[in-house]
Structure 1
Amino acid sequence: MQKAKKLTLAVLIQAALISTAYASEQSESKGFVEDAEGSVLFRTGYLSRDKKNGVDDTSSFAQTAIVNLDSGYTQGLIGFGVGVVGDASFKLGENKHAGNGMIPRETGLNSQGQLTKGAGDTYDHWTRGGANVKARVSNTDVRYGTQVLDLPVLASNTARLVPEYFDGFLVTSREIKGLELTAGKFTKNQYSDQINSDGNELDRAVVWGAKYKVNDALNTAYYGVDIKDKLERHYANVNFKQSLANNSSLTYDFSGYHTEWDRGANSNLYSFIGPADGDYQNSIWAVSGTYNKGPHNVMLAYQQNSGNTGYDYGLGRGVGDGHQTIYMPNSYLSDFIGNDEKSAQIQYTYDFGAMNVPGLTWTSAFVYGWDIKATDNKGTMISDNAQEREFFNQVKYTVQSGFAKDASLRLRNSYYRASNDYQNNYIGDTNEWRIFLDIPVKLF
Structure 2
Amino acid sequence: MKRITTVIALSLGGLSGLVQADATSQDYLPLTLKENSAQAESNGFIEDQSLSGWTRNWYARERATKGPLFRYYKSDGSRRETHSRDNWVQGTVLDYSSGFTQGTVGFATQVAGYHALALERGRARVAGPNNRTLTHGDGDVIGQWSKLGLANLQARISNTTLVAGRQSINTPVFAYIGNRALPSSFDGVALHSAEFDNLSFDLGTFERVSTRTEQGKSRFTTEYSALGAEADRVSLAGLNYQPLRSLTTSLYFGHVEDIWNQYYFGASHDLGDKGTLALTTGFNWYGTRDTGSAKLGTIDNDTFSLSFTLAHQAHSLTLAYQQVNGDEYFDYVHDTNAIFLANSLFSDYNGPNEKSFQVGYALDMAGFGVPGLRLNAYTARGWGIDGTHYKGNGYDVRNLDGEHHREWSLGASYVVQSGPLQATNIRAYYTAHRASREQIDGNLDEFRIVTTIPFNIL
TM range (shorter): 0.7 to 0.9
* Structure 1 residue 380 displacement after superposition: 6.7
2:341 aligned with 1:328, yes or no? yes
Aligned to 2:117, what secondary structure does the other structure show? Answer: strand
Counterpart CA distance in 1 for 2:240 and 2:419 is: 37
Alignment of 1:35-434 (within 5 A): 35-51=48-64, 52-56=66-70, 57-96=84-123, 97-107=127-137, 119-129=138-148, 130-198=150-218, 200=220, 202-244=231-273, 246-262=275-291, 264-266=294-296, 278-313=297-332, 320-374=333-387, 381-422=398-439, 426-434=440-448
* Structure 1 residue 41 displacement after superposition: 0.5
Q: Which amino acid aligns with 2:363?
A: Y
Q: Which amino acid aligns with 1:181?
A: F
Q: Which amino acid aligns with 2:366?
A: G
* Structure 1 residue 356 displacement after superposition: 1.3
* Structure 1 residue 95 displacement after superposition: 4.1
Query: Where does residue 435 of structure 1 map in the other structure?
Result: 449
Aligned to 1:353, what secondary structure does the other structure show? Answer: helix
* Structure 1 residue 40 displacement after superposition: 1.7
* Structure 1 residue 238 displacement after superposition: 0.8
Q: Which amino acid aligns with 2:198?
A: G
Q: Which amino acid aligns with 1:183?
A: L
CA deviation string 1:176-200 (max 9, x = no partner)? 2210100011111121111112365
Residue correspondences, number: 395
Aligned to 1:214, what secondary structure does the other structure show? Answer: strand
User: Does the 8 A contact of 1:58 with 1:100 survive in 2?
Assistant: no
User: Does the 8 A contact of 1:167 with 1:188 survive in 2?
Assistant: yes
Q: 1:34 to 1:101 in 2, by over 3 A?
A: same
User: Does the 8 A contact of 2:63 with 2:444 survive in 1?
Assistant: yes
The alignment-based identity, stated in percent, is: 29
User: Does the 8 A contact of 1:252 with 1:289 survive in 2?
Assistant: yes
Aligned to 1:234, what secondary structure does the other structure show? Answer: strand
TM-score, normalized by length of structure 2?
Answer: 0.82
CA deviation string 1:211-253 (max 9, x = no partner)? 0122321100011111112221111101100014854310001
User: Does the 8 A contact of 1:397 with 1:410 survive in 2?
Assistant: yes
Counterpart CA distance in 1 for 2:300 and 2:452 is: 39
Q: State the Cα RMSD in Å.
A: 2.0
TM-score, normalized by length of structure 1?
Answer: 0.85
Counterpart CA distance in 1 for 2:210 and 2:115 is: 15
Counterpart CA distance in 1 for 2:318 and 2:69 is: 34
User: Does the 8 A contact of 2:184 with 2:336 survive in 1?
Assistant: no
Q: Which amino acid aligns with 2:315?
A: H
Query: Where does residue 26 of structure 1 map in the other structure?
Result: 39
Q: 1:248 to 1:442 in 2, by over 3 A?
A: farther
Aligned to 2:40, what secondary structure does the other structure show? Answer: helix
Aligned to 2:244, what secondary structure does the other structure show? Answer: coil
User: Does the 8 A contact of 1:26 with 1:136 survive in 2?
Assistant: yes
Counterpart CA distance in 1 for 2:456 and 2:262 is: 37
Counterpart CA distance in 2 for 1:392 and 1:99 is: 26
Aligned to 1:154, what secondary structure does the other structure show? Answer: coil
User: Does the 8 A contact of 1:417 with 1:428 survive in 2?
Assistant: yes
Aligned to 2:141, what secondary structure does the other structure show? Answer: coil
Counterpart CA distance in 1 for 2:421 and 2:42 is: 30
Gaps of 5+ in 1: 1-18, 108-118, 267-277, 314-319
User: Does the 8 A contact of 2:39 with 2:104 survive in 1?
Assistant: yes
Q: Which amino acid aligns with 1:103?
A: T
Counterpart CA distance in 2 for 1:31 and 1:234 is: 39
* Structure 1 residue 383 displacement after superposition: 4.6
Q: Which amino acid aligns with 2:167?
A: Q
Gaps of 5+ in 2: 1-31, 71-83, 221-229
